[in-house]
Amino acid sequence: MKAYLGIVQKVLDQGSLKSNRTGIDTYAIAGAIFEHDMSNGFPLLTTKKVPFRLVASELEFFIKGITDKQWLIDNNNHIWDEWANPKKVPYAHDEETKKKMMSERDLGAIYGFQWRHFNAKYDNYDSDYTGKGIDQLKNVVDTLKKNPNDRRMIVSAWNPCMLDEMALPPCHYGFQVTVIDGKLNLLWNQRSVDTMLGLPFNIASYALLLHLLAKESGLKEGKLVGFLADVHIYENHKTGAIEQLGRDVNKYKLPTIQTNKFTSIFDWQYQDTEVINYESHPRIKFDIAV
């Protein structure tokens, strides 16, 4: 995907060294735009292996509004293992705190909670939030069916009232759906962009969400657009970034995806969607900065 690799190259060429809360400095630029037409294939990177199963299971986790880390662990997804509700385990870098964060299953009022129960009072991962808060995702789905020309189909994960109750303040903090010429387009906003590790997941996740919303509404798939703010590459990711840029982007074509047994986005399970003809260069290991 040349659009993604162009962002990587821009950060390496123009990025300024910048410190941050993780303790690992980054090369950062002030903004980039990612754009992809879904008719050209599903945007799963081919210059390194991206595990679609992890992308899809995390998206189901968000769509269902779940905040229990154990649900992900039970589905062999460990991308949230290091995080915890800061009300229960205040964030810190020392080893004792890291162990406590790992063992705490409550992630707090993160993405899916805001998507499905915006601004509801948060109690615990196993509390019943039925009918509480604003179900932003359902509102978007309903509007798509009743008035697809609406320009207010927006879902926000950024809730200033509850940031201190989230394991991590949302990096991709909002998305909008717009329908033009019978095609559903999805545009997301991201405040902080881990270019090598996080961005490939974000691209695939929002592309999958676009796909599901298009199936829900009976519309064709249009464009995926990301408005990216602090776009950075961690110092310990630079070698891997250079390796990835050196790989042949034309060696493999983008795959497609197929969703089976679809009834509703709210009943969808990640196993219902499969990737067709996905080939890629080998995985590149990038350590996560917590």
Using CA atoms, how far residue 264 sits from 177, 218, 287, in Å, is 17, 11, 36
Which positions are catalytic? 171
Say if CB 13 and CB 231 are below 8 A apart.
Answer: no
Return d(Cα 246, Cα 27) in angstroms, integer.
19
* 207-210 LR contacts (CB < 8 Å, sep 24+): 207/36, 207/38, 207/42, 207/43, 208/55, 208/56, 208/59, 208/257, 208/273, 209/59, 209/63, 209/175, 210/38, 210/184, 210/185, 210/186
User: Residue 69 phi/psi, 5° resolution?
Assistant: -55, -30
CA–CA separation, 235 vs 217, rounded Å?
43
